[in-house]
Structure 1
Amino acid sequence: MSKLSRAALTDAVQEELITYLRNGTINERSVTRALDISGLGIENLDRLKRIHFCLSDDIVEFVEALQGRLRRIKTANQREREVTRGEVRGGIDWQATTRLRYSEAPGDRTQFACKTPYTEYDIPENLVLKKLLWVIHSTVQDDLSNIDYEWRTDVWPTERITMFDRIYARNVHLNRIRDGDDININQRMLNTARTARQSLYTDAYTYYDRYRRLLASAYDDDDISELLSDTLVVPERLPQLFELFCIFRLLRGFSAQGFRLHPIESGSKQLATLEDNRHTVDVYHDRSGRLSFHVPLSELEGVEENYVERIQHIQRRHEELVDAFLGNDTQHSLFSGRPDIVFEVYDSPRRERLVAVTLGEIKYSDSPQTFTSGLEELLEYIEFAQQDSYLTGQEVDVRGLLITDGVKSNAVAPLDGRITHLSAADLTTERFATDWIPERFR
Structure 2
Amino acid sequence: MKTPPERLLEEVADDFHTYLSKGVRFQPLLDDIDPNLQIDDLEKLLRIQFVCTESTGETPGVMDFVAALPDRIRRLKTTVSRDVQVRQGEVRGRIDWQETIKHRYQGGGSEATGFAAQETRTNYDIDENIVLHTLLSEIDEIVTDDLYPALQAPDEYGWLGRWTDADAELVRTLEQVVERNVYLERITEEAAVTDRMLRSVKRSRNPLYSEAAQLLGRYRRLLAYDLDPTDAKELLRTGFVAPDRPELLFELYWVFRILGCYPEARFRLIEDQRGVVADWETETGRYVMSHDSTGPTSLQFSENLDRVEVPEQDGYLSRSVAVAEHWQKYVQDSLGISGTDSLWGGRPDILLERYTDNEAVPDAVFVGEVKYTRNTSYAGQGLRELLEYMAYIRAGETYLSSRGDLFVDGPVRGGLFVDALTEDVSSDGPITIAQFDDEVKQPL
Give 1:107 shift.
6.4
Residue 377 of structure 1, CA deviation: 1.4
Q: 1:216-231 counterparts in 2 under 5 A?
A: 216-219=224-227, 224-231=228-235
Instruction: Tell me which residue corresponds to 2:176.
Output: 166
CA separation of 1:409 and 1:307: change in aligned 2, threshold 3 A: same
Q: Greater shift after overlay, 313-322 or 236-245?
A: 313-322
User: What is the identity, as a one-letter code, of the residue corresponding to 1:214?
Assistant: L
Trace 1:66-215 onto structure 2 (pairs within 5 A): 66-79=69-82, 81-106=84-109, 108-144=111-147, 146-147=149-150, 148=154, 149-154=157-162, 157=165, 158-178=168-188, 182-215=190-223
Number of matched pairs? 413
Partner of 1:249: 257
* Distance change >3 Å, CA 264–CA 67, structure 1 → 2: same
Relative to its length, the structure with more helix (as a share) is 1
Q: Which amino acid aligns with 1:288?
A: T
Matches of 2:128 and 2:352 in 1, distance apart? 52
Q: Deviations over 1:163-195 (max 9, x none)?
A: 22212222221222238xx45223453344234
What SS does the corresponding residue of 2:81 show, helix, strand or coil?
strand
2:399 pairs with one of 384, 390, 396:
390
Aligned pairs (5 A) from 1:286-365: 286-289=292-295, 290=297, 291-300=299-308, 305-319=318-332, 331-348=340-357, 350-351=358-359, 354-365=362-373
Change (3 A) 1:107 1:344: closer
1:48 is displaced (CA, Å) by: 1.0
Q: Distance in 2 between matches of 1:250 and 1:346?
A: 17
What stretches of structure 1 move > 6 A for 4+ residues in a row? none
Runs of 5+ in structure 1 lacking a partner?
none
Which residue among 280, 284, 293 is the counterpart of 2:286? 280
Over the aligned positions, Cα root-mean-square deviation in angstroms equals 2.7
Contact map agreement 1:131 1:183 (CA 8 A) in 2: no
The two structures have a TM-score, normalised by structure 2, of 0.84
Give unmatched runs, 5+ long, in structure 2.
55-60, 313-317
Residues 76-127 of structure 1: CA deviation (Å, up to 9, x unaligned): 2234554322222223233332233223343642122334333211112100
**TM-score, normalization by structure 1:** 0.84
Query: Structure 1 residues 143 and 183, CA, compared in 2 at 3 Å: closer, same or farther?
Result: farther
Deviation digits for residues 392-417 of structure 1, max 9, x if unmatched? 21885112211222335654232xx2
Between the aligned residues of both structures, percent identity stands at 32
User: CA contact under 8 A between 1:280 and 1:351: conserved in structure 2?
Assistant: no
